[in-house]
Amino acid sequence: MAFSSPTTEDRPLSEINVTPLVDVMLVLLVIFIVCAPLMAQSLRVTLPAAAAEPLTESRRAAVTLTAEGALLLDGQPRSAEALTADLTSRLTAEPTLVVELAADGALAYERVAQTVSLLRQAGATRLAFATRGQS
């Protein structure tokens, strides 16, 4: 070598090269940052029981979603289109009408979300969820 002195012997280096270690750690950090949001979405959550006061509104429309997926408006079976049409006409006549949604606990969240979307399409701005009291 041109830079070595004639007195330098060939001996192993006793120093640790930290550059590859830093590179590996930065790659792992980037992988963790990218994967962390994906892992957070798959966490299981146990929701707390709701302690709510009873609905005191005298004018309300009771929408029920049974375990089989049937829709009822004030106890009468309705299709999704008929429910939207009936609620639209009732909400046009009375804009302060409260829509109370009672959904069976065995239903998938997606089905409840679809029903809420139907209620919003009908023009419902005041929505109440029926719950059981805490046991």
- What is the tens place of the pLDDT at every residue in 105-117? 778 888 888 989 9
Give the chain's mean pLDDT: 79
CATH number at residue 106: 3.30.420.270
Q: Partners of 33 in the beta sheet? A: none
Give residue-wise pLDDT tens across range 13-22. Answer: 678 888 899 9
CA dist 6 and 20 (Å) reads 31
The domain of 92 spans 60-129
In a domain, 54, yes or no: no
**More reliable by pLDDT, 29 or 35:** 29
DSSP code at position 22: H
The answer to whether residue 27 is domain-embedded is no
The residues with which 73 forms a beta bridge, in sequence order, are: 63, 76
Q: What is the mean pLDDT of residues 42-70?
A: 68
Instruction: Indicate yes or no: pTM above 0.75.
Output: no
Check: CB of residue 58 under 8 Å from CB of residue 98. no
Total of domains in the chain: 1
Q: Is residue 99 part of a domain?
A: yes
Q: What angle do CA 121, 127, 133 make, to 5 degrees?
A: 145
